[in-house]
Chain A
Amino acid sequence: MVGEATKYIKAHELAIGYGKKLVANNINFALGTGELCAIVGVNGIGKSTLMRCLGGLQPKLSGDISISDSDLAALSPSNLAKTLSVVLTEQPASKNLTVQELITLGRQPYTNWIGTLTSQDKKFVEESLDAFLLKELRFKKCHELSDGQLQRVLIARAMAQDTPLILLDEPTTHLDLYHKVEILKLLQRLAHRNKKTIIFTTHEIDLAIQLCDKILILDGKTNPFGTPCELIEQKHFERLFPSEMVEFDAKTGSFKVKK
């Protein structure tokens, strides 16, 4: 068991919300380098709000978020951009960007005042294009892409930003099963091979159980966190949804509709 001190990102007694409105509290988790973590929970429980807090896009209410043992809120905007990258549910504002232009924007935190690309920057863009199978699509405009392709482009952009931490808000929505698995496999490879800490929110609990190293369940009370096996043994998934509709099958790690 790795000690708490060596964890890359830690949240302690975190409470999130907007202004005076509390959305969720009592959130605790810690992730090491190279770990893939899913955040699951019912609609409206605060998954997106948590992502925005972790990404520094919105202030937390109370508690601590520390990255590499320093406080998240204390990081300057430019340091934050070199620490974590995000993939949001919102579409890019301009759909007229080409795939390559969009991915190149990920290098912004490293370029000079006018955005000149060094050979290092170009190398990162090429690697990202390669890792997400986008080489043939590089001159395509974003409005010409399918949902799955666009999602790959947005994740590739986050990879090009070359941050130790990547946050993704529902990267698999609107995709069919094949493309869901494709995206999650690519994320898993990115985490394990490139040693990135990756946190994403999802509704694909059965896929998350199979692919993730850790899962955080937002249930509005204790918010259990652990490996998929631990959570199954402690019967946390059974309590996720009202039991009259679906039941959790611990043997297969998936939900079944009650007949």
Chain B
Amino acid sequence: MSINRSYYISFVLIALAVVLAFLLNVSSGSVSIPFGTILAALFGTEMELDSWNYILWNYRVPKAFTAVLVGGGLSLSGLLMQTLFRNPLAGPFVLGISSGASLGAALLLMGFSLLSGFTTISIFNDVSVAIAASAGSFLVLLVVMVVANRIKDTMALLIIGLMFGSITSAIVSVMAYFTSAENLQRFIFWSFGSVGNLSSQQVALLAAIVGLGFILSVGSIKQLNAFLLGENYAQSLGVSLKKSRLVIILGTGLLAGGITAFAGPIAFVGLAVPHLTRQIFDTMEHKILIPAVFLYGAILMLLCDTIAQLPNSANVLPINAITSLVGAPVVIWLLVRKRKLLF
């Protein structure tokens, strides 16, 4: 089809940009390693310094892959929600999935010590936080799915998601008020978000979760396209509303919940990237949008992480702040320029 062919060039360019952003990301960090050396090392040659080898393969490459998975996955979940909820402002945060993850992490980091009386918690490492956050997000997801089965109106579901967000943040602030400064600090650091500090096994697990979410999205392409007309029209086109809504919500939950568990709550990527993508890929066809949004999200996250690393300095900025600083102006700019945020 002639319309689709014109997107091939865009896809080649955007894939090229992912590779470039990836290279930029792995070649910058607190320790400066020459770009040529990194490039050669990625193609198999050993670097002269063992510490460089260690930094590249055990820290920077897993981090860059995490950034790709986090950025792509969050953006994809944002796209799914905007279509499902027929709302241009929908994103992973609105269904309460991210709030659920925060609640899980907060209960572990702050609530546990409050209840049991322990003050220091050495057993709580990153893995247990990830498990607690996943449990929290899936708990919220389960409740949302039960509600989704009973309520036909997606707008009501959206508001219920927002209410869940308010409830969880209220519980978190109550816990934050009573907890020790040390535990509060741990939670605050988790809530800053980070794509680093994941082992290769954890990255592989994250990849499996994001992969599953991606497969569920691709399997729902036709239903997503039909939802663009509204639920009544979708039904008249032979779409089973309950079943496809469940599959799409499950995919969103896997993507947003899994990612928030490993990388912390990362704002604005899920909301802004689908809108940015539509500036280049001027279509509503999900067959085009799903891969495009994923790649675009990966680029944005790699770049944000590169900025957060503050090249050649030992300081790392919270990635959540960077994505908000990039994302919020983008949404404002889109609104001002187009006067209306369409999806």
Cα distance, A102 to B225, chains bound together (Å)? 9
Which residue, A94, A95, A122, has most C-beta atoms of chain B within 10 A? A94
A57: contacting residue among B218, B232, B340, CB under 8 A: B232
A105:B236 contact, CB within 8 angstroms: no
What residues on B are CB-neighbors of A143 within 8 Å?
A: 340, 342
Q: Is A28 an interface residue (CB 8 A)?
A: no
> In angstroms, how far is the closest chain A Cβ from the Cβ of B273?
16
B227:A93 contact, CB within 8 angstroms: yes
Of chain B, the residue at the smallest CB distance from A85 is: B236
- Chain A stretch 67-123: residues in CB contact (< 8 A) with chain B: 77-78, 80-82, 84-86, 88, 90-98, 100-102, 105-106, 108-109, 111, 113-115, 117, 122
* Interface residues as binary, A172-188 with B (CB distance below 8 Å gives 1, 0 otherwise): 00000000000000000
Q: Is B308 an interface residue (CB 8 A)?
A: no
What residues on A are CB-neighbors of B159 within 8 Å?
A: none
Q: Is B278 an interface residue (CB 8 A)?
A: yes
A93: contacting residue among B228, B235, B238, B340, CB under 8 A: B228
Q: Is B222 an interface residue (CB 8 A)?
A: yes
Q: Is B167 an interface residue (CB 8 A)?
A: no
Q: Is A32 an interface residue (CB 8 A)?
A: no
B278:A96 contact, CB within 8 angstroms: yes
B236:A81 contact, CB within 8 angstroms: yes
Q: Is B283 an interface residue (CB 8 A)?
A: yes
What residues on B are CB-neighbors of A81 within 8 Å?
A: 236-238
Q: Is B189 an interface residue (CB 8 A)?
A: no
A105:B235 contact, CB within 8 angstroms: no
Cα distance, A77 to B239, chains bound together (Å)? 7
- Chain B stretch 73-112: residues in CB contact (< 8 A) with chain A: 83, 86
Q: Is A55 an interface residue (CB 8 A)?
A: yes
B225:A105 contact, CB within 8 angstroms: yes
What residues on A are CB-neighbors of B228 within 8 Å?
A: 92-94, 97, 105
Of chain A, the residue at the smallest CB distance from B87 is: A93
* Interface residues as binary, B311-343 with A (CB distance below 8 Å gives 1, 0 otherwise): 000000000000000000000000000001011
A101 and B230 in contact (CB under 8 A), knowing A77-B240, A85-B236, A94-B86?
no
A115 and B238 in contact (CB under 8 A), knowing A86-B233, A94-B86, A94-B342?
no
What residues on B are CB-neighbors of A108 within 8 Å?
A: 222, 225-226, 237-239
Cα distance, A139 to B1, chains bound together (Å)? 14
B230:A92 contact, CB within 8 angstroms: yes
Of chain A, the residue at the smallest CB distance from B218 is: A114
Q: Interface residues of A toward B: which range?
A: 35 or more
What residues on A are CB-neighbors of B237 within 8 Å?
A: 81, 105-106, 108-109, 161
What residues on A are CB-neighbors of B184 within 8 Å?
A: none
What residues on B are CB-neighbors of A57 within 8 Å?
A: 232, 235-236
B229: contacting residue among A77, A82, A100, A102, CB under 8 A: A102
Q: Is B221 an interface residue (CB 8 A)?
A: yes
A92 and B233 in contact (CB under 8 A), knowing A114-B221, A114-B287?
yes
A105:B229 contact, CB within 8 angstroms: yes
A115:B287 contact, CB within 8 angstroms: yes
Cα distance, A61 to B108, chains bound together (Å)? 53
Which residue, A82, A95, A115, has most C-beta atoms of chain B within 10 A? A115
Q: Is B284 an interface residue (CB 8 A)?
A: yes
> In angstroms, how far is the closest chain B Cβ from the Cβ of A154?
9
What residues on A are CB-neighbors of B218 within 8 Å?
A: 114
A101 and B240 in contact (CB under 8 A), knowing A88-B233, A92-B233, A93-B228?
no
A78 and B238 in contact (CB under 8 A), knowing A88-B233, A90-B230, A95-B342?
yes
- Chain B stretch 212-258: residues in CB contact (< 8 A) with chain A: 218-219, 221-222, 225-233, 235-240
Cα distance, A143 to B232, chains bound together (Å)? 20
A101 and B342 in contact (CB under 8 A), knowing A57-B232, A117-B1?
no
A94 and B232 in contact (CB under 8 A), knowing A77-B238, A115-B221?
no
Of chain A, the residue at the smallest CB distance from B240 is: A77
- Chain A stretch 111-161: residues in CB contact (< 8 A) with chain B: 111, 113-115, 117, 122, 141, 143, 161
B342:A115 contact, CB within 8 angstroms: no
Mark A residues whose CB is within 8 Å of B: 55-57, 77-78, 80-82, 84-86, 88, 90-98, 100-102, 105-106, 108-109, 111, 113-115, 117, 122, 141, 143, 161
Task: For the complex of A and B, list the 10 residue pairs with the smallest distance between their C-beta atoms, beginning with the closest.
Answer: A81-B238, A93-B230, A93-B86, A94-B228, A96-B342, A78-B238, A86-B236, A108-B237, A77-B238, A115-B222
Show 11 A/B contacts (Cβ-Cβ < 8 Å), sorted by A: A77-B235, A81-B238, A88-B230, A90-B233, A93-B86, A94-B229, A101-B283, A105-B226, A108-B238, A108-B239, A113-B222
Beyond known contacts A88-B233, A105-B229: 12 more, CB 8 A cutoff: A56-B236, A81-B238, A88-B232, A93-B227, A94-B229, A96-B284, A97-B229, A101-B285, A105-B237, A114-B222, A115-B222, A115-B225
